[in-house]
Structure 1
């Protein structure tokens, strides 16, 4: 390919239908659902061919910025930029902002490959053929979407009607079809000429922006303003909040693709799944002879056609068919696997309850740019946590108004600063941090530091932190 493609990876979604594994603070794109690396990392890996792709641009929620940076660093991949959305406004303005940024950085004739970060894609010969076909059309001003050849009557996807066929180049879109019911989905499959709408696009930067100017001027103005007034923050680019917030909350499909006369589709049949629900994860994975998918500590007896996933407790299931069981250390979901699309509705119920909303937002394990922590035990005026700090990382220099802390090193080496005095601790050693002291924890070693933190005091909330210095810009 003579022209490099700029991949734009959308990584801001929350993936509620994969609860309880996927939650607002660490959604499904950052989870290793199909192997040892996360879906986001798999997407990054797919666009590393330097003969085809420029370094990727990532568009994400500001809350996910450190996860994005860390997961890219784990793969030793450089990025062209990490654009931070200040508020959620759907995909139209996110893609428009990316197009404006790429046009400024790479030139107005740059071609963008828009990719969701949470899909499972097999990048074989069919993938690269489709890429070449889409690039040629996008370079000629067409706005290309990738239509997946359907394998079954799916009700969870939108469809594209077109005369396209696999390997026959790009064809005009006749119309977009909303998610159908089961009867209509079966009818479309029998008729032919319908493709799953993958949410992947190939667009020329200026071609797309010109269509925005005609069809979605409010979106374009918001995107251009957000990019022109953006500010750099460490390795991130913070889009201007005032400008970005003026954008309509609308998808790129509704804002542009369903209105433009330039919409085209390339039909593909490479392996693809949006992994939008637990039954999609089950369909896309290797299963045992009884058609069961298991992850974690699981024991089954007379179980068929089921998914059982656990990251903590040992789960034993007996005498059931078509069951989904997903267990974390603070929540368990049980339901019909064939009705897994309904998990999103369950999350809405949980969010509406003041005692359960937290289960949709954070995990027992919270991840930070330096590592993270997990709650072990809570009581009246005390709390026990497990902290883990990555090699070479350090927490902010901080103090607390309402709690004292006691740190015990379980593994690795800790460098602890207390009121200006630095102490090095090894395994099985501990230190006391009195109320109000200015302190910092660092890992100077080559392996992960793990320690137990015991907090005592009148208030133990995470907001009782006064940051004095912080290498991650949070002070």
Structure 2
């Protein structure tokens, strides 16, 4: 039995403005309108050979992970990191957790944001690596390169042209264009996909040999972990002592028991908007259009509108990327697709909200979006899922007016509880304890008008909460 570990953190800044810290790319339906990248990963790691997955994510994404697992009809445990520490501590925590039940458990580590269209071929490749993993090798999966890609790390294999597992000689850092061309021509180099298969005890031994300083704090964080609803939350204090590092730097580049399985049945890490365009079908002029888009005399360009009611029009564009969101628009030369992260860094340094947050904000009970924001007022559209409820809460700096647009709301203000239906409204005074619930079977939509001296999401005192979020913006 193979135990999948799915890494579901990260900020995905190279696909800004669609992917941001508050809602990274793995949760988006980037190339498939029916499922997110994370949901596709869950489907790819399901079958007779696979146990239920262990998903490693952060506290801010825990309800989103649970919701998408439910949508994908997947069950499994969700392990919460108190803070992001890169891939090495996350993988070690997952492996130590699985090793409690079976020290020799066969573990498959996979990112949650890759596109691998041929599930059968991928599972065949994984199975081909099982004998080597069972024999004590750390197996990685290398992608047969199709271009001199400078955005990936590479793997140097012991032999060229093999379709089965071969010894891995070394990892190669992201190369410059000349070096990438040389490796492509050599024929015995592969792209590093960041997917690994190994026995739990073998990886622990690798950490003991190459990154022993990580083991004790990670073990302590796991020993002191607490169950939080359906999640297992690693202890924060010992986790703070764990140094951030990638699994490649911490272990893989130093290990001498490495095997690589070549894979050539299609793979894309969607690491840039150019990569997204490559993965989607374009028209005869190479234009990839998504959403409400009109392209006139354009070629070799990606035009994508993610804003309902916003028509994106391109005229005479050549080799460009244009992505329109309700609150931000990206326009870039396609050759500069890898530089989108620089734009995010610049916006973040200026304190621009759009660098990390959306106008629409996900919550375990549903979502809200800001429609208007000014001095001393804010207007939101709030959607509450059937049977869901906001916390019983109060605010220190603002009052609220609620108008139900569709559905029925059960509203608590002070000691009064009442049902409010479409076109009815209610006032929540500053400082009053209040709660909003949806007792119906369809989503409930309302407009909220806030007025006050401070309108931040952290102006909230929770008294009761179905989702055990504690205090603060999300808890």
Query: Is 1:130–2:133 an aligned residue pair?
Result: no
Query: Is 1:60–2:89 an aligned residue pair?
Result: no
CA contact (8 A) 2:2 2:108 kept: yes
CA contact (8 A) 1:164 1:265 kept: no
What CA deviation, in whole Å up to 9, does each residue of 1:322-375 have, x standing for no partner? 000111111111111121001011111111113x2x211110000001011100
* Structure 1 unmatched runs, 5+: none
Task: Supply the distance in 1 between the matched residues of 2:66 and 2:455 (Cα, whole angstroms).
Answer: 29
Give, in angstroms, the shift of residue 165 of structure 1: 6.0
Q: What residue is the counterpart of 1:399 in the other structure?
A: 394
Task: Supply the distance in 2 between the matched residues of 1:125 and 1:15 (Cα, whole angstroms).
Answer: 27
Task: Supply the distance in 1 between the matched residues of 2:238 and 2:423 (Cα, whole angstroms).
Answer: 52
Task: Supply the distance in 2 between the matched residues of 1:37 and 1:455 (Cα, whole angstroms).
Answer: 35
Q: What residue is the counterpart of 1:76 in the other structure?
A: 73
**Of 357, 369, 373, the match for 2:368:** 373
Give, in angstroms, the shift of residue 76 of structure 1: 2.8
Give, in angstroms, the shift of residue 108 of structure 1: 0.7
What CA deviation, in whole Å up to 9, does each residue of 1:237-271 have, x standing for no partner? 11122222222221111111111111110011121
Give, in angstroms, the shift of residue 447 of structure 1: 1.1
Query: Is 1:253–2:248 an aligned residue pair?
Result: yes
Give, in angstroms, the shift of residue 166 of structure 1: 6.8
Query: Is 1:85–2:75 an aligned residue pair?
Result: no
CA contact (8 A) 1:166 1:266 kept: no
Q: What residue is the counterpart of 1:175 in the other structure?
A: 170
**Of 6, 9, 13, the match for 1:16:** 13
Task: Supply the distance in 2 between the matched residues of 1:394 and 1:125 (Cα, whole angstroms).
Answer: 41
CA contact (8 A) 1:129 1:167 kept: no
Q: Structure 2 matches for 1:433-472, cutoff 5 A?
A: 433-472=428-467
CA contact (8 A) 2:323 2:329 kept: yes
CA contact (8 A) 2:407 2:445 kept: yes
Task: Supply the distance in 1 between the matched residues of 2:70 and 2:21 (Cα, whole angstroms).
Answer: 22
What CA deviation, in whole Å up to 9, does each residue of 1:141-164 have, x standing for no partner? 110100000111111101001035
Q: What residue is the counterpart of 1:325 in the other structure?
A: 322
Task: Supply the distance in 1 between the matched residues of 2:444 and 2:50 (Cα, whole angstroms).
Answer: 37
Task: Supply the distance in 1 between the matched residues of 2:6 and 2:93 (Cα, whole angstroms).
Answer: 12
Q: What residue is the counterpart of 1:43 in the other structure?
A: 41
Q: What residue is the counterpart of 2:156 in the other structure?
A: 161
Q: What residue is the counterpart of 1:263 in the other structure?
A: 258
CA contact (8 A) 1:93 1:222 kept: no
Change (3 A) 1:166 1:376: farther
Q: What residue is the counterpart of 2:23 in the other structure?
A: 26
> Structure 2-normalised TM-score?
0.96
What CA deviation, in whole Å up to 9, does each residue of 1:251-305 have, x standing for no partner? 1111111111111100111211000110010011111111111112111111100
Q: What residue is the counterpart of 2:292 in the other structure?
A: 297
Task: Supply the distance in 1 between the matched residues of 2:459 and 2:92 (Cα, whole angstroms).
Answer: 39
Task: Supply the distance in 1 between the matched residues of 2:397 and 2:366 (Cα, whole angstroms).
Answer: 24
CA contact (8 A) 2:129 2:261 kept: yes
Query: Is 1:384–2:379 an aligned residue pair?
Result: yes
Task: Supply the distance in 1 between the matched residues of 2:162 and 2:63 (Cα, whole angstroms).
Answer: 40
The 3-state SS of whatever aligns with 2:146 is coil
Task: Supply the distance in 1 between the matched residues of 2:410 and 2:374 (Cα, whole angstroms).
Answer: 28
Q: What residue is the counterpart of 1:417 in the other structure?
A: 412
What CA deviation, in whole Å up to 9, does each residue of 1:109-134 have, x standing for no partner? 11111010111112344312211111
CA contact (8 A) 2:160 2:187 kept: no
The 3-state SS of whatever aligns with 2:190 is strand
Task: Supply the distance in 1 between the matched residues of 2:268 and 2:25 (Cα, whole angstroms).
Answer: 13
CA contact (8 A) 1:17 1:276 kept: yes
Figure out how many residues of one structure are paired with residues of the other and give that number. 467
Is 169-178 or 188-197 further displaced after alignment? Answer: 169-178
Change (3 A) 1:415 1:187: same
CA contact (8 A) 1:165 1:267 kept: no
> Structure 1-normalised TM-score?
0.96
Change (3 A) 1:164 1:397: farther
Give, in angstroms, the shift of residue 41 of structure 1: 1.1
Q: What residue is the counterpart of 2:473 in the other structure?
A: none
CA contact (8 A) 2:274 2:334 kept: yes
Give, in angstroms, the shift of residue 309 of structure 1: 1.3
* Structure 2 unmatched runs, 5+: 471-475
CA contact (8 A) 1:303 1:318 kept: yes
The 3-state SS of whatever aligns with 1:120 is coil
Is 197-206 or 164-173 further displaced after alignment? Answer: 164-173
Give, in angstroms, the shift of residue 457 of structure 1: 2.1
The 3-state SS of whatever aligns with 1:272 is coil
